[in-house]
Amino acid sequence: MLNKDALLKQINSGLDVFKHYIRGQWRVGRNFLNLLYEDRKASCNIYYDRRSQSYKMKDFGNDAYSGDCFDIVGKIKGLDCNNPKDFVEILKTVNRDLSLGIDENDRSFAVPVSHGFHAICFNSETSNIPQNIIKKLSYRFKHIVLLYDMDKTGLGASLKHAQQLSDSGVKRWLF
C-alpha cells in the first residue's frame, strides 16, 4: 500500500529523501547553500520537526523551497503537494526513486486519494477495526466511510463492520 505514513516509516521520517535529492555537503541543523537554485548565502536548513515527527527543510533565502520531503520532491518535479493527483504522483516518485518497493497499485488507497479524500488502509478487509480508532478519527473527520470490494469477502466484512460501528455513524461503500 502506498501512502504518506508507509513511506515516512521507510525513509527515516523524510531524511533519506533529502539525502537522495539534495546533493552536496550538508548536515541536519546546519545552514548550507541550496543547490536547487543559484543560492548565494547559506541560509537553507534541514531539521527535525517534533510536531510532525518528520524532517523538514527551511530556506530563509527562498521560502518556495521550504517544506517536508514531499513538498521538496514536488518542487523538483513540478508537482503541487496540495493537488491530490499530484501528491499521489509524488508518493510514486519517492517510492520508485528510492527503490522502496511499496505496492502502489492498491486501489483501496489510490481511489479515494485521487478524488481528494483522506484515506487509511487496513491490511485486510477482515481486519478488526477497534472502536477507539473510529472515535479518534471522528474527532478529526466529519464523515468516515469504509470502502470494500464487491467480492464475497468484501460484502461480508462490510456488513459486519457496518453493524459493529453503526453507533459511530460509519458508512460503507462497495466498489
Q: Positive or negative, the Cα torsion across 82, 88, 93, 98?
A: positive
Q: What is the pLDDT of residues 137-165, one digit of tens each?
A: 777 777 777 777 777 887 888 788 878 88
Nearest to 95 by CA among 160, 162, 1: 1
- Asked if residue 4 has pLDDT above 90, the reply is no
C-alpha cell at 125: 478487509
Domain extents for the chain? 4-97, 122-174
Q: What is the pLDDT of residues 16-40, one digit of tens each?
A: 999 999 988 899 999 999 999 999 9
Share of the chain above pLDDT 70, in %: 83
- pLDDT level of residue 134 (50, 70, 90 thresholds): confident
Phi (first) and psi of residue 12, to 5 degrees: 55, 50
Compute the average pLDDT of residues 54-68. 96
- Asked if residue 58 has pLDDT above 90, the reply is yes
Angle, helices 84-97/69-77, rounded to nearest 10 degrees = 100
**Mean model confidence pLDDT for the chain:** 84
Phi (first) and psi of residue 28, to 5 degrees: -60, 130
| pLDDT for res 11 | 92
| 33-47, 73-87, 97-111: the lowest-pLDDT one | 97-111
Global confidence as pTM: 0.60
CB distance 54 to 8 below 8 Å: yes
